[in-house]
Amino acid sequence: MHAKRFLRTLPDGASKFSVSNKHYCEGLKIHPDLVVRRFGKIWICVELKEAGRIMPAAIQEDRARLNDTRHKLKAHRGYLIYLSRHSEGHFEIGDRYPLIRSIIISMQDELPAEGFTRWNTEFKRLSKHRLPSKVLAG
């Protein structure tokens, strides 16, 4: 929704661009979370990730997978957007895949310490919550 709104603000954006989520890619092991089409052709693939701590080795693996997907879909560019709860927000990443960009957002950088502590406590509580089986079955 936010990506669509942003693209509509560009000149002729409403007629040039469309956005779909969880685009089905037959035969691929990765399904991009967002696909931006330009004039009907896949232009950008976006993969969203969330983790407590993000390791540079995991980023390299995700970049390789997204680059493979980008090639198969003939997309112009790919973006990996990470939300990290505990990691520092900056990593040096080589240019092995120049058309893949990694964006790392650290909650510690974005929230004040007390807000982060409150959010993390609530996250831990909700992550253990399970719906009763009656709700799931009905």
- Furthest-apart CA atoms within the chain: distance in Å: 50
Q: Which of 30, 25, 33, 31 is nearest to 2 (CA)?
A: 33
- Structurally, how many domains does the chain consist of? 1
Indicate the pTM of the whole model. 0.70
- CATH number, residue 105: 3.40.1350
Determine the structural domain holding residue 117 and report its residue range: 2-137
**Cα dihedral 112/86/60/41 (nearest 10):** -50
Could you give the angle at the alpha carbon of 92 between the alpha carbons of 86 and 98, nearest 5°? Answer: 120
Residue 57: other Cβ atoms inside 10 A: 8
pLDDT digit string, tens, across residues 71-119: 888 889 998 888 887 766 555 566 677 788 888 877 776 777 777 778 7
Least-confidence region, from 7-16, 49-58, 67-76, 124-133? 124-133
